[in-house]
């Protein structure tokens, strides 16, 4: 099983956490930091209508980014992040600290919405942590569905 990332607001921090673990080259294929919408569209194949209708900071975009990363890297799983890290860029509808995480597998895609507090560094750190936690839950759930007697974690990602 393999893993890929697609990041916007976390700027590569999720991939950095994954690759900080010895042995991650055995499952981590790569990642895309798609900060600009043109990169989301071009590399991750996020449809223009999603960006126009819902915006880059949306569950729909997180889902499309996760799908795009999985397709680009031909990975078993992918995780994506998109949001407003701050201190600027927020609005009433999409305040600073709003982050969406997407996790895609061959079977399904899940998206998660979070509202974090703190400065830019704290928002990125919290978003990274939640992305890894959600990824772990999806992977463990799928492993248990495939073999209910199997225990353990496929990806050894440090989650505190």
Query: What phi-psi label fits residue 45: left (phi over 0), alpha (psi between -120 and 50 degrees) or beta?
Result: left
Q: pLDDT tens per residue, the chain (160 residues)?
A: 999 999 999 999 999 999 999 999 999 999 999 999 999 999 999 999 999 999 999 999 999 999 999 999 999 999 999 999 999 998 999 999 999 999 999 989 999 999 999 999 999 999 999 999 999 999 988 766 655 444 443 444 433 3
pLDDT of residue 150: 42
Residue whose structure tokens are 């978003």:
127
Residue whose structure tokens are 């989650």:
159
Q: How far apart are CA 68 and CA 42, in angstroms?
A: 10
pLDDT of residue 141: 85
Q: How far apart are CA 84 and CA 117, in angstroms?
A: 11
Query: In the CATH scheme, what is the code of domain 3-146?
Result: 3.90.950.20
Which tokens is 54 given?
């819902």
For the entire predicted model, the pTM comes to 0.90
pLDDT of residue 148: 46
Task: Give per-residue burial for 42-76: e unless 16+ CB within 10 Å, then b.
Answer: ebbebeeebbeeeebbbbbbbbbbbbbbbebbebb
Which tokens is 74 given?
């031909």
Q: Are the C-beta atoms of residues 94 and 84 closer than 8 Å to each other? A: yes
Q: Pairing between strand 3-7 and 28-33?
A: parallel
């Amino acid at each position: 099983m393999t893993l890929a990332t697609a990041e916007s607001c976390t700027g590569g921090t999720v991939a950095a956490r994954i690759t900080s673990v010895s042995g991650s080259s055995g499952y981590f294929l790569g990642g895309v930091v798609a900060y600009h919408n043109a990169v989301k569209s071009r590399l991750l194949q996020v449809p223009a209508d999603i960006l126009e209708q819902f915006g880059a900071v949306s569950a729909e975009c997180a889902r499309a980014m996760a799908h795009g990363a999985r397709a680009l890297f031909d990975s078993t799983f992918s995780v994506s992040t998109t949001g407003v890290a701050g201190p600027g860029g927020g609005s009433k509808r999409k305040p600073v600290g709003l982050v969406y995480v997407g996790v895609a597998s061959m079977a399904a895609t899940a998206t998660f919405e979070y509202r974090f507090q703190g400065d830019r560094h704290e928002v990125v750190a919290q978003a990274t942590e939640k992305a890894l936690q959600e990824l772990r839950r999806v992977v463990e759930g799928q492993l248990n569905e495939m073999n209910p007697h199997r225990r353990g974690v496929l990806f050894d990602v440090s989650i505190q």
